[in-house]
Structure 1
Amino acid sequence: MVGSHEADIRRIAGEQGGTVVKFLGDGSMLAFGSARAAVRAAVDVQRACQAAPFAVRIGIHTGEVVRTADDLFGLTVNKAARVAASADGDSIMVSSTTRDLVGSMDGVRIGEGEIVALKGLSGTHLISPIEWD
């Protein structure tokens, strides 16, 4: 099951112009050239996993990263991980930066945002759910 899930993620990332940076146990880190591509891929991953016996929660933040040969680092990566951690099972959450960059997309709605504290990050942050058909 996990191998099939990883194959779906690789395929979907490629279809949306993204790359799989790494798989982390039962999670993964992906990178995309745009916030819209990341959101489209997130929706496609959730669609592909609807029948899976596990929940797929996804967090997206957009910004600059430090890239090495095989990894990404920096505040953007940390914030994306914290946004993902704030998501309930089978949900997609995005930061306010991503929300602003995405705007409107066919088949996707950005839900009511909520102000939250994100572990290890100062201040409060607006995160919003992505809803899809």
Structure 2
Amino acid sequence: MARLQRKRFSEPVDVRRFPRGRVDIIELGDTVVGRMTYEPGWRWSVDVKPIATTESCQYHHMGVTLEGRLRVEMPDGTELEIGPGDVFEIPPGHDAWVVGDAPWVSIDWEAMRTYGRPAGERRERILGSILITDIVDSTALASRVGPSRWRELLAQHNERAQRVIDRYQGRLVKTTGDGVLALFDSTERAVRAAAGIRESVLQLDLQVRAGINTGEVELLPDDVRGLAVHVAARIQDLAAPGEILVSGTSRDLLEGSDLNFEDRGSHELKGISGARQVFALT
């Protein structure tokens, strides 16, 4: 849930150090923000690659430069130099290096959950409830309203979904082009968020379907993965327009709540062994 708060980089919750660089970490609820400081001569492929164990930086960075200059190179050879006052976005798959004799200092609010940690420390598994939504007939709708109006609708859909997810103390993991994937530490809040998103986007003349499952997931910098996520996605595929479906596991965790469900039977889910019981929110 959003709340008024303030944190200082002089009192970080974590400091990640690597050759010629460091990242100071603060947390604002579920949002992790980092101050990156790279010394002259720093280069990702020299100083961070041995820690990351990937050929290029696989993090999606979004932030603002405070001091110094950084040059970024993408796999196709495209380069961009980032200097003081520049607000930047750097997609995964890049190399980068400090330009000149001054340190590069920036604030990053997108990639900081595990950036700069050794590969073996980045795999965090938690128990959570996954909510996946999808706009009904999105392809036909996009064709009917045209690209400009469709972009407006998507932006409004995403804003409304984010507000509802925040209200129920979830984390928007990512948007999916015509839906969202969110993570909750409460199954009940995940279901109520799904219902809230469904009602909120009706005002845009949009219908969504939703799937919810509860299980163990692995946290990645910009994503979550695991069997629980795949099950949620397959359950969402079964949902009719406007319908919210939950797995049997999620339904069992809601015993005693005031939420009501109808049994939708047992289903073989594509790519997942064994039949799964599915229930619809009523």
TM-score under structure 1 length normalisation = 0.92
Distance in 1 (alpha carbons) for counterparts of 2:198 and 2:271: 27
Find 1:49's aligned residue among 194, 197, 201: 201
Counterpart position of 1:74: 226
Per-residue deviation at 1:123?
1.3
1:4 aligns with 2:156: yes
Deviations 1:81-118 (A, max 9, x none): 00101111110000000001112434x31112311111
Per-residue deviation at 1:51?
3.4
Equivalences, count: 130
Distance in 2 (alpha carbons) for counterparts of 1:114 and 1:48: 28
Per-residue deviation at 1:52?
3.3
Counterpart position of 1:119: 270
Counterpart position of 1:99: 251
1:59 aligns with 2:206: no
SS in 1 for 2:180: strand
Residue 213 of structure 2 aligns with an amino acid whose one-letter code is H
The higher radius of gyration belongs to 2
Unaligned runs of 5+ in 1: none
Per-residue deviation at 1:4?
1.1
Unaligned runs of 5+ in 2: 1-152
Counterpart position of 2:168: 16
Find 1:85's aligned residue among 224, 237, 244: 237
Counterpart position of 1:109: 260
Per-residue deviation at 1:55?
2.1
TM-score under structure 2 length normalisation = 0.45
Provide the alpha-carbon RMSD of the alignment.
Answer: 1.2
C-alpha spacing 1:48/1:59, structure 2 compared with 1 (3 Å): same
Deviations 1:12-66 (A, max 9, x none): 1111010110011102100001101100101111111223333200000001101
**Greater helix share, 1 or 2?**
1
Greater relative CO (CA pairs within 8 A, separation 6+) = 1
Residue 129 of structure 1 aligns with an amino acid whose one-letter code is A
Distance in 1 (alpha carbons) for counterparts of 2:248 and 2:204: 29
Percent sequence identity over matched residues? 35
SS in 2 for 1:61: strand
Distance in 2 (alpha carbons) for counterparts of 1:9 and 1:76: 21
Distance in 2 (alpha carbons) for counterparts of 1:38 and 1:54: 20
